[in-house]
């Protein structure tokens, strides 16, 4: 049902008895185009829908960015809308998002971004323009909780930006952000960080230890996800985490970008994981995104039994496309379901 101005005046109108807070919650579950239509029906609907429409801004093309900048450059619009923006993203799920923005538009866009004092999530995606490097060097968002940038840089812009935002709880970066040539021997002081997502690039001088060493002082880090794009072995990743982040609770190694390079975990190499698993006092979930296979294959049961014996806190794990769990009372291994993503 679409509310009209005349309906709003009626004693039987929904807006007469339904609280604005409830209407706002309903709008949060409404499609954007329907929300735009609803906002044009009355002043009340407009006032309620506007914060929802501008809460999360996802820009997926040069045209969208240009229109967004043009809107936010209007002084009245900035005063009214900037306070509602909590999330800005320049990426899409297809991983093929490439922008070729004119330098003048980049300059205008960055000037607009500085206006969002209430911003909580910033996803720069694969932006590579030099001006974005300069922006990261000096930008400051007091309420920022999530930051994502997937570009390899040869300077300290990313690290200095992250270091200024002690409020961060979720961080997505390439592992090259911690190379010694960039940040020296500094460490990151992020007391609230709980989730770290690392994209591993194909780089001859990429050292996993450098990036993870910077995170070693982060005591609240609970979940770490690796998305390798190179032939980095699962054992190498687990070993690096065991050395620098032994108190992590969840580890995911996903190979969505390079499925053809996925190494298998076999009966022969499974025991080599045991020394590293013993170093995790709080690890409860471990995921290796390898090729799906028969969940009841004999050596998988052997591997799971071996690993749970090495890590007593390990209660669930994803292995070769299948989810396993350990019964809390008697420790029996159970095949729970079949999964194919981190979000599962």
Contact (CB, 8 A) for 281 and 309:
no
| Measured distance CA(227)–CA(283) in Å, rounded | 19
pLDDT per residue as tens digits for the range 129-162:
666 777 887 889 999 999 988 766 545 677 788 8
∠ CA 135-224-246, rounded to 5°: 120
Contact (CB, 8 A) for 240 and 211:
no
Question: Looking at residue 260, what is its pLDDT?
Answer: 45
| Measured distance CA(305)–CA(315) in Å, rounded | 11
What are the DSSP calls for 131-180, one per residue? HHHHHHHH---TT--EEEE----SSSHHHHHHHT-TT--EEEEEGGGG-H
Looking at the chain, list the stretches that DSSP marks H as alpha helix, in order from N- to C-terminal side: 5-9, 14-17, 20-28, 32-39, 43-53, 62-72, 75-81, 103-113, 130-138, 157-163, 180-183, 208-215, 234-244, 274-277, 298-310
Distances (CA, A) of 28 to 41, 54, 291, 332: 17, 11, 38, 43
Residue 172 pLDDT greater than 90, yes or no: no
Biggest CA pair distance of the chain? 75
Mean pLDDT score across all residues of the chain: 77
Question: Looking at residue 13, what is its pLDDT?
Answer: 65
Joined tokens for residue 328: 């809390």
pLDDT per residue as tens digits for the range 96-130:
555 567 778 888 888 888 889 899 999 887 665 66
Instruction: Give the pTM.
Output: 0.78
């Amino acid at each position: 049902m679409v509310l009209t101005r005349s309906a709003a005046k009626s004693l039987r109108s929904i807006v007469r008895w339904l609280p604005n807070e409830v209407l706002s919650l309903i709008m949060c579950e409404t499609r954007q185009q329907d929300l735009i239509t609803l906002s044009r029906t009355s002043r009340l609907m407009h006032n309620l829908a506007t914060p929802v429409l501008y809460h999360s801004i996802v820009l997926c093309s040069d045209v969208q960015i240009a229109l967004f900048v043009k809107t936010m450059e209007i002084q009245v619009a900035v005063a009214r809308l900037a306070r509602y923006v909590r999330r800005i993203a320049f990426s899409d799920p297809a991983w093929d998002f490439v922008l070729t923005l004119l330098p003048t538009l980049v300059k205008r866009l960055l000037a607009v971004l500085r206006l969002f004092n209430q911003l909580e999530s910033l996803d720069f995606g694969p932006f590579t323009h030099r001006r974005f490097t300069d922006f990261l060097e000096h930008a400051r968002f007091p309420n920022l909780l999530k930051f994502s940038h997937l570009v390899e840089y040869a300077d300290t812009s990313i690290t200095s930006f992250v270091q200024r935002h002690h409020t961060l709880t979720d961080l997505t970066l390439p592992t090259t952000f911690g190379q010694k040539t960039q940040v020296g021997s500094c460490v990151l002081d992020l007391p609230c960080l709980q989730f770290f997502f690392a994209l591993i690039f194909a780089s001859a001088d990429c050292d996993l230890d450098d990036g993870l060493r910077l995170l070693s002082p982060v005591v609240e880090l609970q979940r770490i996800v690796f998305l390798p794009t190179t032939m980095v072995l699962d054992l190498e990743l687990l070993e690096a985490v065991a050395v620098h982040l032994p108190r992590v609770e969840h580890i995911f190694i996903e190979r969505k970008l390079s499925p053809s390079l996925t190494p298998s975990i076999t009966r022969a190499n499974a025991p080599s994981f045991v020394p590293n698993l013993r170093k995790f006092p709080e690890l409860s979930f471990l995921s290796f995104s390898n090729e799906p296979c028969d969940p009841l294959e004999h050596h998988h049961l052997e591997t799971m039994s071996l690993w749970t014996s090495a890590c007593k806190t390990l209660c669930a794990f994803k292995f070769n496309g299948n989810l396993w769990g350990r019964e809390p009372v008697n420790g029996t291994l159970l095949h729970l379901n079949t999964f194919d993503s981190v979000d599962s």
